[in-house]
Amino acid sequence: MKLRGGTPGVPPLCLWEGAVHLQVEALCKRWAAARLALADPAHPAHPDAVHEVLRIVRVLLAAVPSRHARVLRAELGRAYRDSTTARELEVMLALASRLLGGQGEALALRYAPALAALRVALATRLAALAAAGGAFALLSAERVSGRRVRQHAKQLWRAVLAMRRRARRKGGEARWHALRIALKRCRFYGELFAAVLPAKAADRTRRCRRLQGLLGQWRDLAALDAFLAKEGGALAGARVKVGALAAEAFADARRAAARLR
């Protein structure tokens, strides 16, 4: 039996006769700590901690060929979308504070109660999420063939290339966002199973991470621009700066997408 580590914070893999056995004890502890932090309004941790654990668990479940795994993944997907609401508001307010000075800080202060309420409500829902316990139990007992892991990695990479072609040919915010999601899936899978994937997969993971980061910057700025448009009033002028930054970020992402092979 051989124990291999991977990306920091990622469950190590136990390799035995071509099968992958996931060590999820540390991930389970991270889940409990993230939920407790989320329920405490004074805690500096933000919803991204819960978001990240849910994301990792769902990627791991995607490697398990069983109906039970698919059901758990779907249930955790709903929780993942719930966590996205709190996370996106926090990201936008932090970005506003950084880019817009006093105006952004005032906006963050005004929305602080709403963000705190979202965090507490999310923590309450996640505390009752039985699917999380079921997922950890399943992953702890499951062994997945290395061959299946490699096949799924190829499928995710092909999905990235297909989404890239659609986004570049037809355009539209929805298609570029779909490409970002495909990149995230491919990247996270590559990071989690790096120990059993071929060397070229590491380069694909690196390229996915870079393009995903550029598209993420664009999406955050575009979301902030839309948020400021709804606020209106004195913040209308700030949209000029944010809109210009969003356009620049999108141009960078388009150039990087053109080089993705």
Domain-ending residue, one of 115, 141, 167: 141
Neighbours of 135 (CB within 10 A): 27
Among 31-45, 154-168, 176-190, which stretch is predicted with the lowest mean pLDDT? 31-45
d(CA 134, CA 97): 39
Predicted local distance difference test score (pLDDT) of residue 147:
85
Residues contacting residue 11 through CB under 8 Å, at least 6 positions apart: 22, 23, 24, 26, 27, 56, 60, 192
Which residue pairs, CB below 8 angstroms and at least 24 apart, start in 153-162?
153/186, 153/189, 153/190, 153/193, 153/197, 153/201, 156/182, 156/185, 156/186, 156/189, 157/186, 157/204, 159/185, 159/186, 160/186, 160/208, 160/260, 161/260
pLDDT category of residue 16 using cuts at 50, 70 and 90: low
- Picking from 255, 170, 165, 173, the residue whose alpha carbon sits closest to that of residue 210 is 255
Neighbours of 255 (CB within 10 A): 10
Q: Are residues 89 and 158 in the same domain?
A: no
> Are 239 and 228 in contact, with CB atoms under 8 Å apart?
yes
Beta bridge partners of residue 13, listed in sequence order: 4, 22
Q: Are residues 106 and 189 in the same domain?
A: no
Predicted local distance difference test score (pLDDT) of residue 179:
96
Q: Angle at Cα 104 formed by Cα 223 and Cα 95, nearest 5°?
A: 45
Inform me whether the pLDDT recorded for 2 exceeds 60: no
Q: Are residues 256 and 166 in the same domain?
A: yes
Q: Are residues 94 and 4 in the same domain?
A: yes
pLDDT digits (tens, 9 = 90+) for 83-133: 888 888 888 898 999 999 899 999 999 998 988 888 888 888 888 888 888
Q: Are residues 55 and 106 in the same domain?
A: yes
- Picking from 136, 142, 144, 100, the residue whose alpha carbon sits closest to that of residue 242 is 100
- Picking from 191, 251, 182, the residue whose alpha carbon sits closest to that of residue 212 is 182
Predicted local distance difference test score (pLDDT) of residue 18:
64
Domain-ending residue, one of 107, 141, 175: 141
pLDDT digits (tens, 9 = 90+) for 192-228: 888 888 889 999 999 999 999 999 999 999 999 988 8
Predicted local distance difference test score (pLDDT) of residue 10:
56
pLDDT category of residue 33 using cuts at 50, 70 and 90: confident
Q: What percent of the chain has pLDDT over 90?
A: 36
Domain-ending residue, one of 141, 173, 192: 141
> Are 61 and 76 in contact, with CB atoms under 8 Å apart?
yes
Domain count, the chain: 2
Q: Are residues 72 and 93 in the same domain?
A: yes
Predicted local distance difference test score (pLDDT) of residue 5:
43
d(CA 200, CA 154): 11
Q: Are residues 52 and 116 in the same domain?
A: yes
Predicted local distance difference test score (pLDDT) of residue 44:
63
Q: Domain residues for 129?
A: 1-141
Q: Are residues 70 and 34 in the same domain?
A: yes
Q: Are residues 130 and 245 in the same domain?
A: no
Q: Are residues 67 and 114 in the same domain?
A: yes
Among 138-152, 175-189, 210-224, 247-261, which stretch is predicted with the lowest mean pLDDT? 138-152
Q: What percent of the chain has pLDDT over 70?
A: 90
Q: Are residues 180 and 121 in the same domain?
A: no
Neighbours of 193 (CB within 10 A): 25
Inform me whether the pLDDT recorded for 168 exceeds 90: yes
Predicted local distance difference test score (pLDDT) of residue 181:
93
Mean pLDDT of the chain: 85
pLDDT category of residue 11 using cuts at 50, 70 and 90: low
Predicted local distance difference test score (pLDDT) of residue 244:
93
Q: Are residues 136 and 10 in the same domain?
A: yes
